Amino acid sequence: MSRNQRIGLVVVALVVAVVAFVVARPGDDDDNGAGHAAQTAPAQTETEAAEETGETQTETAPQEAPRPEVSRIRVRGGTVVGGVQRVQANKGDTVRIVVTSDAPDEIHLHGYDIYENVAPGKPGRFVFRADIEGIFEIESHVAEDAGRDPLLARLVVEPS
């Protein structure tokens, strides 16, 4: 193989790589400011406000940020109804999570380090801005102290 052939091969490969990158890369400008609402994956999600885009404002709160869904986590008899939950959000969203339990407990959202106490009839409410990307665990400290699996849900914050 001659020197020019080798260089040619390298150049072709580089072009292929760059083209592949440009083609494969999703247009992340598309959803600028679209503020995806937080959502819980499994069944018992209760929609309090529809997902909004920047263009279609609702009449109720025109100048406020889109009101996100509330993710509900129900703990009954020491386990989460419907298994470990997944709370999905994009960076910058306001996330609302309500935890109800049939026993007193302290709920800890790791990373954001928010603690809320819950008791029967007294749900714990987490309201915060999702500023840190990554996957964070929401745990029950009572279960942890008892040596049971404390994991209630995972908060998944994706880049906006």
Partner 1 sequence: MIPLAHGFVVRSDLPIPEWLFGWAAAMVLVVSFVALAILWPDPRLQEEGWRPLPRGLGHRLTSRPVEIACGAIGVFLFAVVIYSGLRGTQTATANFTTTFIYVIFWLGLVPASVLLGDVFKAFNPWRAIGRAVAWVARGAARGELPAPLAYPSWLGRWPAAAGIFAFAAMELVAANGDRPENLAIATLIYSALTFIAMALYGVEGWIERGEAFSVYFNLFSRLSPIETRDGVVGYRRPLSGLPALEALPGTVPLLAVMIGSVTFDGAAEAPIWTGIAPDISRFFQDLGLSPQTALEVTFLIGLIAAILLVYGFYCLGVIGARSVGGGFTASRLGGAFIHSLVPIALAYVAAHYLTLLLIQGQAISFLASDPLGDGADLFGTADTQIDYGVIGATATWYWQVGFVVAGHVTALTLAHDRALAIYDKARLAVRSQYWMLAIMVGFTSLALWLLSQSNA
Q: Which region, judged by CB under 8 A, interacts with partner 1, from 23-31, 65-73, 93-101, 118-126?
A: 23-31
Which of 48, 69, 68, 65 lies closest to 57 in space, CA to CA?
Answer: 65
CB of 159: closest distance to partner 1 in angstroms?
5
Is residue 63 within the footprint of partner 1 (CB under 8 A)? Answer: no
The answer to whether 150 touches 144, Cβ cutoff 8 Å, is yes
98 in helix, strand or coil?
A: strand
Task: State which amino acid sits at residue 156.
Answer: V
Q: Which region, judged by CB under 8 A, interacts with partner 1, from 19-27, 44-52, 66-74, 116-124?
A: 19-27
Is residue 43 within the footprint of partner 1 (CB under 8 A)? Answer: no
Query: Which backbone phi and psi does 136 adopt, to 5 degrees?
Result: -125, 145
Query: Can you tell me which of 2, 4, 21, 60 binds partner 1, judged by CB under 8 A?
Result: 21
Query: Can you tell me which of 61, 65, 119, 135 binds partner 1, judged by CB under 8 A?
Result: 135
Is residue 146 within the footprint of partner 1 (CB under 8 A)? Answer: no
| Burial 37-72, CB ≥16 within 10 A → b, else e | bbbbeeeebeeeeeebeeeeeeeeeeeeebbbbbbb
Q: Within 115-134, which residues bind partner 1 (CB under 8 A)?
A: 131-134
CB of 50: closest distance to partner 1 in angstroms?
24
Query: Can you tell me which of 2, 4, 26, 30 binds partner 1, judged by CB under 8 A?
Result: 26
Calpha distance 46→70 (Å, rounded): 7
The answer to whether 77 touches 102, Cβ cutoff 8 Å, is yes
In the complex, which residues of this chain contact partner 1 (CB under 8 A)?
Answer: 1, 5-6, 9-10, 13, 16-17, 20-21, 24-26, 86, 110-112, 131-137, 148-151, 154, 156-159
